[in-house]
Amino acid sequence: VVEMGTPDRSVVTTCAYCGVGCSFKAEMKGDQLVRMVPYKHGKANRGHSCVKGRFAYGYAHHPDRILSPMIRDSIDEPWREVGWEEALEFAATKMKSLQEKHGRRSIGVITSSRCTNEETYLVQKLARGVFMNNNTDTCARVCHSPTGYGLGQTYGTSAGTQDFDSVEKADVVVVIGANPTDGHPVFASRMKKRLREGAKLIVVDPRRIDLVRSAHIEASHHLPLRPGTNVAVVTAMAHVIVTEGLMDEAFIRERCDGESFRDYMDFVSDPRHAPEAIEAQTGVPAQELREAARLYATGGNGAIYYGLGVTEHSQGSTTVIGIANLAMLTGNIGREGVGVNPLRGQNNVQGSCDMGSFPHELPGYRHVKLPEARKVYEDLWGVEIDPEPGLRIPNMLDAAVDGTFKGLYCQGEDILQSDPDTKHVAAGLAAMECVIVHDLFLNETANYAHVFLPGSSFLEKDGTFTNAERRINRVRRVMSPRATYADWEVTQLLAKAMGANWNYTHPAQIMAEIAATTPTFSNVDYPLLDTQGSVQWPCNDAAPEGTPMMHVDEFKRGKGRFIVTEYVSTDEKTGPRFPLLLTTGRILSHYNVGAQTRRTANTAWHPEDLLEVHPHDAETRGIKEGDWVRLASRAGETTLRAKLTERVSPGVVYTTFHHPETQANVITTDFSDWATNCPEYKVTAVQISPSNGP
């Protein structure tokens, strides 16, 4: 940490990394950030922080920041630095002419869960109100879109049920497909405190993550399932609960839909779902699974926390539904200490979904096919909204390859590095006639761009982020935008260049429009956030102080709906050529593709991605600790160093994806969740062999 003198002011703002949403005091000297101090009144973190929020802010001043707009006619040409006006005119002219030639649905937008609610709202408004189509998607597509679908279908709301405080009342904590110690460190500390006080822990994960055994914590059960078998395991837990009579019958009778429950009972009580029947397939010892299910059902308050190890599968939505079923079966909904809690990856995954970034939903999760939902915006914006859902990210890329999708505005998202099947992403981008990248750095996607618009860091703008517990936190500008404009201003300038009459002068006005049009946000405004510090949606006349806990007396949809969860094994099969399964995750000091953390001192803690290999698998291939290894799948291959560890089971290898050299997504396939197209990042059949290096 480089201390830069004595601060002369401080501004309370919100960390822009993970979905915990920690509050910090940005201590400033003039326009220089001296240090980030965790804010003791922050409701998500209460004065705690991790190494990302505390130290990894230097990227805002990194020399790699691009501060001038750039344009070029073709991706083979060098970039030309130009003024903002020329860049925006160039972009607007290209996008309008594409629509004239190829129709209004030939262009679209992708927004990022790193951006504020206000920015995200404007980007979807650009698509719907200026491009005149619903071709809007968000990077939540590739992480938690199955959460939105699964919880929406079962409970009626696409969000977690509890606040973080709730963990303090949990008696049994179930962690499925999440590694909170690395991914959500500050919440992990709160969880660990509760575990040290005596709460029991069940971990369902192919890896023996830190939580399984750490200081004064030992999981009662670790179910080391084979990647891709989540649905079978969750359904088997339900089978045990149902067949052993461990259900909360009163809760089911009073709170859940009877017909759906009867169908579910018929399905789940079938012996083919018994733990013994799925043991060979999942690799989970049947007795261990039985005992874990009994503990969850009978151990008092049972709280489930899950992450991308649940969602990023071809059956991601089915697993989310299965988890929701488990909580209803056992009555673990609607009070403190229980619930279904998705641990959102990025700082504003929840918010980007709330703001209508998906191509089928307007803000507040209202389907675009509903005339009354469209009318709210048609009256306000003076346009006619396309009633047809638009394209998801993978569909945009497919359509680009097919020649029907021609132009993209991509804000704060490096799809070439973060999305699966890199070759296909590159082919889609290369086929487009106008790609506008709006970002802090000249990222990998920008290799295929015709316009680069400089972005602003979270320190340079006002707005809000919504964390994993639906908490809307203020982001406050602590320094002037280094490239002249905050991101919301750039989107507005692009809209104006295309003929829109937008005249916001501050993000507070955008939030006022969100509140006026979105029932769950109707009482949210900046003065309330300044007074209360933060507020959890729904925040409206029915809940003026916000809503820490959902579904207390009834589910948002009325009765909770059970849905049958048939396990279908992934199409990604192991075999003689690719006998191992690769799964991926994050490490404490870095964040996702590392665009920010790699440009800070945090990189010293993790200078390269390593491949975790079980010693048995390494030995049979002649691979030793630290050796270079060729990692190959049906999609592609890459090279990285081996780390021998029993954290992974035999037959499974694991890596992080923070460094572009790793090219983890060259390896991953294009299989995706059946309901949402969330990519199946967590299961790739691979082979490893000794290598001389890259």
Residues of this chain that bind ligand SF4 (CB under 6 A)? 15, 17-18, 20-22, 45, 49-50, 52-53, 184-186
Q: How far is the CB of 338 from ligand SF4 (least distance, A)?
A: 23
In angstroms, what is the minimal distance from the CB of 16 to ligand SF4?
8
The two structure tokens encoding residue 31: 């326009």
Per DSSP, the three-state class of 580 is strand
CB 55 within 8 A of CB 602: yes
CA distance linking residue 162 with residue 523, whole number of Å? 20
Minimum CB–partner distance for residue 533 and ligand SF4 (Å)? 15
For residue 353, the minimal CB distance to ligand SF4 (Å) is: 18
Looking at residue 219, the DSSP 8-state letter turns out to be -
Work out the burial of residue 403: count CB atoms within 10 Å of its CB; fewer than 13 is exposed, 13-18 middle, 19 or more buried.
Answer: exposed
At residue 275, what is the residue type?
P
Of residues 56 and 289, the one with the C-beta less far from ligand SF4: 56
The answer to whether the beta carbons of residues 132 and 106 sit under 8 Å apart is no
Over the Cα atoms of the chain, what is R_g? 24
Q: Which of 277, 230, 294, 256 is nearest to 154 (CA)?
A: 256
Q: Which 3 state secondary structure label does DSSP give 251?
A: helix
> Min. distance of Cβ 347 from ligand SF4 in angstroms?
7
Name the residue among 664, 130, 119 with its Cα closest to residue 412.
Answer: 119
* CA–CA distances in Å: residue 531 to residues 427, 513, 524: 49, 20, 11
Q: 297, 307, 302, 293: which is closest to 338 by C-alpha?
A: 302
Nearer to ligand SF4, 21 or 224 (CB): 21
Distance CA 388, CA 138 (A): 18
Closer to ligand SF4 at the Cβ: 45 or 111? Answer: 45
Instruction: Give whichever of 17 and 657 is closer to ligand SF4, judged by the CB atom.
Output: 17
Q: Closer CB to ligand SF4, residue 20 or residue 278? A: 20
Residue 597 or 687 having the CB closest to ligand SF4: 597
Distance (Å, whole) CA 200 – CA 253: 28
Please name the helix (run of DSSP H) or strand (run of DSSP E) that holds residue 452, with its range, or none: strand 451-454
Retrieve residue 22's tokens: 């920690």
Closest CB to ligand SF4 among residues 22, 340: 22
Is the Cβ of residue 282 or residue 467 nearer to ligand SF4 in the bound state? Answer: 467
Query: Residue 625: what residue type?
Result: E
Supply the minimum distance, in Å, between the C-beta of residue 9 and ligand SF4.
Answer: 21
- Decide: 284 and 225 in contact? Cβ < 8 Å: yes
Q: How far is the CB of 511 from ligand SF4 (least distance, A)?
A: 21
Residue nearest to ligand SF4 (CB): 53
Sign of CA dihedral 187, 248, 223, 685: negative
User: Are 667 and 684 contacting, i.e. CB atoms less than 8 angstroms apart?
Assistant: yes
Tell me how far, at minimum, the Cβ of 17 lies from ligand SF4, in Å: 3
Report the residue number, 98 or 186, with the smaller CB distance to ligand SF4.
Answer: 186
Q: How far is CA 289 from CA 225, 458, 549, in A?
A: 10, 44, 29
We find the least distance from the C-beta atom of residue 44 to ligand SF4, in angstroms, to be: 7
Residue pointed to by tokens 């509140």: 515
Cα 87 to Cα 414, 489, 493, distances in angstroms: 20, 14, 10
**Residue 19 or residue 454: which is nearer to ligand SF4 going by CB?**
19
User: Toward ligand SF4, which CB reaches closer, 185 or 334?
Assistant: 185
Reading the block at residue 291, the tokens are: 């005992």
Return the number of the residue (15 or 376) whose C-beta is nearest ligand SF4: 15
Amino acid code (one letter) for 613 = V
| Residues 452/427, Cβ–Cβ less than 8 Å | no
Smallest gap from residue 107 Cβ to ligand SF4 (A): 34
CB of residue 461 vs ligand SF4: minimum separation in angstroms? 17
Nearer to ligand SF4, 325 or 600 (CB): 600
Angstrom distances, CA of residue 151 to CA of 155, 311, 322, 345, 658: 5, 12, 10, 17, 30
The DSSP annotation for 196-237 comes to: HTT-EEEEE-SB--GGGEETTEE-SEEE-PPTT-HHHHHHHH
Structure tokens at 241: 């609960």
Structure tokens at 690: 């000794």
Q: Could you tell me the smallest distance in angstroms from the CB atom of residue 20 to ligand SF4?
A: 4
CB 467, min distance to ligand SF4, A = 8
Residue 17 vs 578, nearer CB to ligand SF4: 17
d(CA 649, CA 665): 22
CA–CA distance, 319 with 296 (Å, rounded to integer): 17
**Smallest distance from the beta carbon of 529 to ligand SF4, in angstroms?**
17
Least separation in angstroms between CB 515 and ligand SF4: 25
Q: Which is nearer to ligand SF4, 184 or 222 (CB)?
A: 184
Alpha helices in 549-694 (DSSP H): 615-620, 664-667
